[in-house]
Structure 1
Amino acid sequence: METGEQTRFWRATGLGGVELLQARYVEQCFAPHVHEGYVITVLEDGAQSFRHRGSEHLAPVGSMVLINPDELHNGRKAVEQGWRYRGFYPEFEHLRTVLDELGLDRGGLPSFNCSVLYDPELARRFLTLHRLLEQPTETLQQQTLWRETVLLLLQRYAKVPEAPAAGNEPQAVQRAKELLAARLSEPPSLEELAAAVNLSPFHFARIFRRATGLPPHTWLTQRRLEQARALLKEGCAPGEVAARLGFADQSHLNRQFKQSYGVAPGVYRQAHGHAGSRSRPG
Structure 2
Amino acid sequence: MSEQREDAHFWQAGHLDGLELLSARYIEHRFAPHVHDGYVIAVVEAGAERYRYRGVDHLAGAGSLALINPDEVHTGSKGHDDGWRYRVFYPDVALVRSALEELELPLAGMPAFIGSVHHDPDLVRMFTHLHRLLEANASALEQQTAWREALLALFRRHSRLPEPGAPGREPLAVLHAKELLRERLAEPPSLEELASAVRLSPFHFARTFRRSTGMPPHAWLKQQRLDQARALLRAGCTPAGVAAQLGFADQSHLTRQFKQAYGVGPGEYRNACARSFKTH
CA contact (8 A) 1:96 1:105 kept: no
Structure 2: runs of 5+ lacking an equivalent: 162-280
Asked if the contact 2:47/2:80 (under 8 Å) is kept, the reply is: yes
* AA aligned opposite 1:82: G
**1:81 match: secondary structure:** coil
What is the alpha-carbon root mean square deviation over aligned residues? 1.0
Does residue 110 of the first structure (1) align with residue 111 of the second (2)? yes
Corresponding residue of 2:8: 7
Deviation at 1:110, TM superposition (A): 1.3
Query: After superposition, where does 1:95-174 map in structure 2 within 5 Å?
Result: 95-159=96-160
User: TM-score, structure 1 length as denominator?
Assistant: 0.56
Deviation at residue 115 of structure 1 after TM alignment: 1.1
CA drift of 1:159 comes to 3.2
* One-letter amino acid of the structure 2 residue matched with residue 143 of structure 1: Q
Flag as ranges the 4+ runs of structure 1 deviating above 2 A.
Answer: none
For each residue in 1:134-182, what CA deviation from the matched residue of structure 2 results, as whole angstroms up to 9, or x when unmatched? 113110010011001100000001136xxxxxxxxxxxxxxxxxxxxxx
SS of 1:133's equivalent? helix
Q: Helix, strand or coil: the match of 2:70?
A: coil
Identify the residue that residue 80 of structure 2 maps to in structure 1. 79
Q: Deviations over 1:44-66 (max 9, x none)?
A: 00001110000111111000110
Q: Deviations over 1:14-34 (max 9, x none)?
A: 011110000000010111110
Q: Which amino acid aligns with 1:15?
A: L
Partner of residue 56, structure 1: 57
CA contact (8 A) 2:49 2:61 kept: yes
CA shift, 1:100, in A, is 1.1
Letter in 2 for 1:39: V
Question: 1:49·1:57 contact (CA, 8 Å) conserved in 2?
Answer: yes
Q: Which residue of 1 aligns with 2:28?
A: 27
Q: Is the 8 A contact 1:43 1:61 kept in 2?
A: yes
For residues 168-199 of structure 1, the C-alpha deviation after alignment (integer angstroms, 9 at most, x for no partner) is xxxxxxxxxxxxxxxxxxxxxxxxxxxxxxxx
Aligned equivalents of 1:106 and 1:91: distance in 2? 16
Alignment: residue pair count: 160
Larger relative contact order (CA 8 Å, sep ≥ 6): 2
For 1:36 and 1:132, how far apart are their aligned partners in 2? 25
Q: Secondary structure at the match of 1:47?
A: strand
- Residue 148 of structure 2 aligns to a residue whose secondary structure is helix
Identity fraction in percent: 52
1:111 and 1:79 map into 2 onto residues whose CA distance is: 28
Once the two structures are TM-superposed, the CA of residue 99 in structure 1 deviates from its matched residue by 1.4
Kept in 2: contact 1:77–1:83 (CA 8 A): yes
* Code of the aligned partner of 2:50: S
SS in 2 for 1:37: coil
Structure with greater Cα Rg:
1
| 1:122–1:149 contact (8 Å) kept in structure 2 | yes
CA distance, structure 2, for counterparts of residue 141 and residue 105 of structure 1: 28
Structure 2 partner of 1:253: none
Separation in structure 1 between the aligned mates of residue 135 and residue 108 of structure 2, nearest angstrom: 32
Cα distance in 2, alignment partners of residues 106 and 32 from structure 1: 30
Provide TM-score, normalisation by structure 2. Answer: 0.56
